[in-house]
Amino acid sequence: MEDEKKTAAEEPAEAPKAAEKPEIASSPAPAEQEKPVKKEAEGPLVYVGPGFKDSRLSTYGIFADGVPQEYKGTIYEKLFVPAAKLNEARETIKKKGSYLRIFYEQAKAEHDAKK
């Protein structure tokens, strides 16, 4: 009868069943997970930045081969969007403080500083 009087604290805890294990334990370690890779946009890109007479950049210019090499790594590169997202980008540029609006203004300021 003494065995029947054990409290919950004295009873051994049950091991979780295999089906009850959290998903996290079965996922690979962070070092084993693949890092996200920045993919090149598929299809033509549209430049949504300011147009310049002394440059091949014109607002809404279409670039079938992606961002031209001379603009890679510059502020202008951030103003190329997939053609499928052109309408969304146009709306975003209209909003003060949006990331595309900031890039647009930075591109314009950079070009004006070069003159």
> In this predicted model, what pLDDT tens digit does every residue of 7-61 receive, in sequence order?
555 555 555 555 555 455 444 544 444 444 444 556 899 999 999 999 899 999 9
pTM above 0.75, yes or no: no
pLDDT at 38 (0 to 100): 44
pLDDT above 70 as % of the chain = 63
In this structure, the number of other CB atoms found within 10 A of the CB of residue 79 comes to: 24
DSSP assignment of 45-97: EEE-S---TTSS--TTEEETTSS-GGGTTSGGGGGEEEGGGHHHHHHHHHSTT
